Amino acid sequence: MKTWLITGCSTGIGRGIARAVLKSGDQAIVTARNIARIEDFAVDYPDMCLALSLDLTDTMSMERAVASAIERFGRIDVLVNNAGYGYRAAIEESEDQEIDRLFATNVFGPTRLMKLCLPQMRKNRSGIIINVSSIGAVRAAVGNGFYSASKAALELVSDALGKEVAHLGIHVITVEP
């Protein structure tokens, strides 16, 4: 049985991954900024699931989530960085505050979360990190430049990390829906 930490479980891909993981018999820490949107998982799978509030722009939130996960299940075998933020605007018209929020959510938050999970994975000499990116990382569109740049940055961080930890039995995978 594996233990998964999954971000962005309130809707879409994250919710689908969480449901599949729990149905398969693995344990899951399901997270979202608004815990009310994911509490149904903990109700449906009380012994296998821990629902937590997690905000990728809040380091303390991530630290609490990782500590709670390890306290409850003893380890994190798979980290799925799924949560993300989309910002659409022409480069010239983009607002600096929105660009900062975009990169905080799509790059710096997932990177911090990986760094928080890695010591435990290194100790166990195993682990899988799955970073959900986007086809936008390789094919930018009009009005999508900064979003594409954030996802491309996540992919390059993932690529470098994968090379750094492969000898430890830790695998890093990027998915481009």
Q: Which residues are catalytic?
A: 133, 147, 151
Rounded-to-integer distance, Cα 156 and Cα 2, Å: 27
Residue 1, judged by CB atoms within 10 A of its CB (0-12, 13-18, 19+), counts as exposed
**What end-to-end distance do the CA atoms of the chain give, in Å?**
27
Per the CB < 8 A criterion, the answer to whether 154 and 133 are in contact is yes
Smallest CA-to-CA distance from 73 within 42, 49, 54 is with 49
